[in-house]
Structure 1
Amino acid sequence: MQMTGFMGSFYRISEWIMRLAIINLLWILFTLVGLVVFGVVPATIALFTVIRKWLLKEPDIPIFKTFVNAFKKDFIKGNLLGLILGALAYIIYIDYQYLLIIENPIFYSILFVGLVFISIAYSVLLFNIFPVYVHFDIKFMQHIKYAILIGIMNLHITISMFGCLYLVYLLNIYIPGIIPFFSVSLAGFVCMFFGNLAFKRLEAKQQKILEKEAIARQA
C-alpha cells in the first residue's frame, strides 16, 4: 500500500536522500577506477543516466547495474567529451591570461566583452551537456549544439538551474560533511531536473508545430 500524507512525503524524501548518497559514492568509486582523469566524465554520464531514469518514474531500476552499464558503454565517448570540454576551458583560460597583458583599452574592452559571452555560453554548455547527452539519441557533436541552444532558448530555466546549483555549492561549503554523499549527485539532480523541464517545453513546441502542419494539410 502506498503511503500518503506526511509519512508518505517523509518516506519519499528519505528514499531520494538514500538514492543520491548511493550514486554519489558510486561516482567517486568509478572516477577512481578510471584513474580520475579517465573516469570522471564516464562516471558523470552514468550518474545522469540513473537520475534521468528516476525522474522518468523508473524508481526500481538496479542502481549498480545501470550505473556500471552506462559507465562501460560511454567510456570512450565520455572521455572524448571530456577532452573537448577541457580543451574549450583551456582556450578560455588562455584568452583571459592574454587579456591581462593587453594595454590598448579599446581592444581590451572588445576582447573582454567577447570573453564574457563565450564564458556564459560555456557555462550553459557545461551544465546542460550531460542531461542532453543521456536524453537525446543523436550524433555525438550534436549534443554540444543542442546543449547550448536548449540552454539559451530556455533562459528562465537555465537561470533557475544556476541559482539552485549555487545553493548546492553553498551547502557543500557550509556543511562539508555532505560532500562524500551529495556533492555531485545533488548537482546532477538539479541539472537533470531543469533539463527535463526544458526538454518538455521543446517537445511541446514540436508537437504544436506538427499539429499546425497537420491542420494546414487538411485545409
Structure 2
Amino acid sequence: MFDMSRWYMRLGNWAFNLVLLNILWFLFSLSGLFILGIFPATAALFAVLRQLIMEDEDLPVLKLFWNKFKSEFMMSNLIGYLILIFGLILYVDLRVLQQLDNNILQLVLASITVVIGIVYLLTLLYIFPLFVHFNLKFLQYPKHAFILAVAKPFQTIMMLGGLAIVYFLYMNFPILILVFGMSLISFVMMKVASFSLPRNVFSHAVE
C-alpha cells in the first residue's frame, strides 16, 4: 500500500538537501573567489548528489561535500578550465565568423563551428556525472562524456527536457533560483545520468 506520509518525508528530505547543497555550492565557490572554487564546488555537488541518488539518501552532506571539495580540487579545476577555455574559443570563433562576408567559406566554417558547438554542449551534460563516478585519465572524461551522450539518446533527451523544465520554473519563479539554484540543475543531470551508469563503480574520490 502506498505510504503517503513516507513519500512526504522523502520529498521533504530531498528538498532540504537540495537547499543545503545549493548554499554549500555557493559558499565553497566563494571561498575560492569563484576562480578556484567554482569547479571543485561543482564536482563536490555532483559527488554528493551521486551518493544520495545511487547509494543512500541519509548521508552527512556537509562532511561529504567538504571531503569531495578537497580531494577533487586540482583535477576538477583542470577539467573545468579545459571546458571553459574550449567554450570561449568556440564563442570567439562564432563572433569572428559573424563579421565575415557571406560566402561559401564562411558558410562551411560556420557549419563546422556549429557542429563542434553541439558536440561541446552534449559533452557538458555528462562531464561532471562521469567525473564523480569513474576514475579516468584527464582527457578521457570529455571523450567518454560525448560518447555517452550520443550512445544514450533517450537519456540525453530526458536530461535536456528536465533542464528545460528547470529553466521554465526559474524564469517564472525567480525565487527558486535563490532556493535551489545550481543544486536542482545538477540533480536533474545526475539523476538522468545515473540511469546509464553502473551502480557498483565508485569515483576516485570516495572517502
TM-score > 0.5 by shorter chain: yes
* Structure (1/2) with the larger helix percentage: 1
Match of 2:59 in 1: 61
Residues paired across the two proteins, number: 200
Q: What is the aligned-residue RMSD (CA, Å)?
A: 1.7
Query: Residue 173 of structure 1 aligns to a residue in which SS?
Result: helix
Write the letter of the residue equivalent to 1:103: D
Structure 2 unaligned residues grouped into runs of 5+: 202-207
Task: Name the structure, 1 or 2, with higher relative contact order (CA <8 Å, separation 6+).
Answer: 2
1:100 aligns with 2:76: no
Report the Cα distance in structure 1 between the residues aligned to 2:75 and 2:178, rounded to whole angstroms.
26
Question: 2: CA distance between counterparts of 1:160 and 1:168?
Answer: 12
Quote how far apart the aligned CAs of 1:73 are.
Answer: 0.7
> Which of 1 and 2 has greater Rg?
1
Q: Specify the SS of the correspondent of 2:77.
A: helix
| C-alpha distance in structure 2 between counterparts of 1:68 and 1:193, whole Å | 21
Q: Deviations over 1:57-86 (max 9, x none)?
A: 312221111000100111111111121011
- Equivalent residues of 2:54, 2:194 under 8 A apart: no
Question: What's the TM-score once normalised by structure 1's chain length?
Answer: 0.87
The residue aligned with 1:136 is: 134
- Using the TM superposition, give the Cα deviation of residue 190 of structure 1 relative to its aligned residue in structure 2, in angstroms: 0.6
Structure 1 residue 176: Cα displacement:
1.1
- When normalised by structure 2's length, the TM-score is 0.91
Matched, 1:29 2:23: no
Cα distance in 2, alignment partners of residues 137 and 176 from structure 1: 37
What SS is found at the alignment partner of 1:135? coil
Which residue matches 1:163? 161
Partner Cα separation in structure 2 for residue 144 and residue 36 of structure 1: 22
Question: Take 1:39 and 1:148, find their aligned partners in 2: how far apart are those partners?
Answer: 25
Partner amino acid, structure 2, of 1:68 = W
Task: Using the TM superposition, give the Cα deviation of residue 4 of structure 1 relative to its aligned residue in structure 2, in angstroms.
Answer: 5.0
